[in-house]
């Protein structure tokens, strides 16, 4: 089981564009077109499924919100930060 990271480690390693919200990290990705957001959410879901670590994804008209946490560890782990970077790669 992954180990929960301490506050300092999370602060040092949190990718640009992501924010901490309690025991989660959150990013909102803006989109000009609804279907572009849906396509992105699908790609995020595919990456997450390959990694067997599933985020909460909210699709809105012009944005997609992604939330990551490791419930089994009780907070944010290396896995969450790694997936945040992988999701950012999908947006580029």
Residue 54 domain-assigned? yes
Residue 76 domain-assigned? yes
Residue 62 domain-assigned? yes
Residue 2 domain-assigned? no
Domains of the chain: total = 1
Nearest to 29 by CA among 42, 13, 14, 40: 40
The pTM assigned to this predicted structure is: 0.94
Q: What is the pLDDT of residues 5-62, one digit of tens each?
A: 999 999 999 999 999 999 999 999 999 999 999 999 999 999 999 999 999 999 999 9
Q: What is the pLDDT of residues 71-87, one digit of tens each?
A: 999 999 999 999 999 99
Residue 31 domain-assigned? yes
Q: What is the CATH number of the domain that holds 80?
A: 3.30.1360.20
Residues in the chain, total = 92
- Please report the sign of the dihedral spanned by the C-alpha atoms of residue 69, residue 71, residue 75, residue 77: negative
Structural domain boundaries, residue 45: 7-90
- Cβ count near 56 (within 10 Å): 11
Residue 1 domain-assigned? no
């Amino acid at each position: 089981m992954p180990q929960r990271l301490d506050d300092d480690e999370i602060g040092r390693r949190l990718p640009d564009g992501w924010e901490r919200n309690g025991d989660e990290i959150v990013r909102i990705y803006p989109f000009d077109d609804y279907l572009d957001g849906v396509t992105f959410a699908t790609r995020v879901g595919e990456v997450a499924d390959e990694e067997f670590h599933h985020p909460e994804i909210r699709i809105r008209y012009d944005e997609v919100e992604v939330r990551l946490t490791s419930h089994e560890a009780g907070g944010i782990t290396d896995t969450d930060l790694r997936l945040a970077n992988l999701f950012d790669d999908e947006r580029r």
